[in-house]
C-alpha cells in the first residue's frame, strides 16, 4: 500500500516557538521539517551581502534567477552552496527580512520550492502563510501564538545561546516591527487559516506545545503517534 503524504502547517508570529515545536513534532512523526523563514532569511542575507538594498524590490529580485536554497536534514541552510546557517539569524538579517518577504516575486519563487518539497514527502512546515497560501490543503493546520513579551524573552535567550549579541529591548522592537509588516503586507499576509487550530504557548513548556500539536495531528489524520 502506498504511504499517504501528510502535511502539517504551523503558522504564527515571529518567535512564537514554531521552529522548536515543529522540529520536535517532525522528529517524532518521522516527517521532514521545513523552515520557510530560513528561506526568506537566506535571500535577505544574499541581497545584503551583494551590497543591494533589501527595501528595493527592483534590486533584490535580480538575485532570484538560479538561486538555490538547500535546507539540509541536519538543519544547515545552504544558499548557492554557501553555509549561511548562522549568519541568517544575525540582527541585520532579522531587521530586514520582512521587507524581502513582502516582495511578491520573491514569495512566488520560494512558494514554488516549498510546494515541491511537500509534494514528495510528509512535512511539518512552519512559516506565516503555510495554511493560508502555500499548502491550503494541508491536513493539519496550527496557528501558534504567544504574547509579545514571552516571545521577546524566548528569542533573546535563544540569541544568547547562539552567541548573537542583542538587547531584550531590541529583540522586542524587532518582533513587534516584523509582526506589523508580516500582518499588513498585501500578498499572503500573516493570519490564521479559517480551519486552523489555535495554540497559545505563552504558558506552555515546549513539551506541552509538542503534545498539543501531536494531538491535533492524531485527531485530524487518525494516524497513530509513535511512542516518544
Residues lying near ligand DC in the complex (CB under 6 A) are found at 14, 36-37, 40-41, 97-98, 101, 127-130, 178, 182
Q: How far is the CB of 112 from ligand DC (least distance, A)?
A: 13
Of 82, 6, 92, 77, the C-alpha closest to 37 is: 77
Q: How far is the CB of 34 from ligand DC (least distance, A)?
A: 10
- Name which of 6 and 107 has its Cβ closer to ligand DC: 107
**Under DSSP, is residue 145 helix (H, G, I), strand (E, B) or coil?**
strand
- Name which of 98 and 150 has its Cβ closer to ligand DC: 98
CB 145 within 8 A of CB 191: no
Q: How far is residue 78 CA from its own chain's centroid? A: 16
Q: How far is the CB of 22 from ligand DC (least distance, A)?
A: 10
- Name which of 175 and 210 has its Cβ closer to ligand DC: 175
Of 86, 212, 215, the C-alpha closest to 146 is: 212
Of 126, 173, 172, the C-alpha closest to 17 is: 126
CB 96 within 8 A of CB 44: yes
- Name which of 11 and 210 has its Cβ closer to ligand DC: 11
Q: How far is the CB of 2 from ligand DC (least distance, A)?
A: 29
Amino acid at each position: 500500500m502506498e504511504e499517504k503524504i501528510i502535511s502539517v502547517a504551523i503558522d504564527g508570529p515571529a518567535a512564537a516557538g514554531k521552529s522548536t515545536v515543529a522540529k520536535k513534532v517532525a522528529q517524532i512523526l518521522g516527517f521532514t521539517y521545513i523552515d520557510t523563514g530560513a528561506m526568506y532569511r537566506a535571500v535577505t542575507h544574499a541581497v545584503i551581502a551583494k551590497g543591494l538594498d533589501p527595501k528595493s524590490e527592483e534590486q533584490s529580485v535580480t538575485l532570484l534567477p538560479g538561486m538555490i536554497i538547500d535546507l539540509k536534514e541536519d538543519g544547515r541552510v545552504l544558499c548557492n552552496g554557501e553555509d549561511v546557517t548562522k549568519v541568517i539569524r544575525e540582527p541585520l538579517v532579522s531587521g530586514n527580512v520582512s521587507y524581502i518577504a513582502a516582495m511578491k516575486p520573491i514569495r512566488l519563487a520560494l512558494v514554488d520550492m516549498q510546494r515541491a518539497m511537500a509534494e514528495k514527502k510528509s512535512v511539518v512546515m512552519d512559516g506565516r502563510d503555510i495554511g493560508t497560501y502555500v499548502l491550503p490543503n494541508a491536513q493539519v493546520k496550527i496557528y501558534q501564538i504567544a504574547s509579545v513579551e514571552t516571545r521577546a524573552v524566548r528569542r533573546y535567550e535563544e540569541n544568547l545561546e547562539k552567541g548573537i549579541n542583542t538587547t531584550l529591548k531590541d529583540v522586542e522592537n524587532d518582533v513587534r516591527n516584523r509582526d506589523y509588516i508580516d500582518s499588513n503586507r498585501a500578498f499572503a499576509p500573516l493570519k490564521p487559516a479559517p480551519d486552523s487550530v489555535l495554540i497559545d504557548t505563552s504558558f506552555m513548556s515546549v513539551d506541552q506545545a509538542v503534545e498539543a500539536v501531536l494531538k491535533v495531528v492524531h485527531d485530524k489524520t487518525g494516524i497513530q503517534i509513535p511512542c516518544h
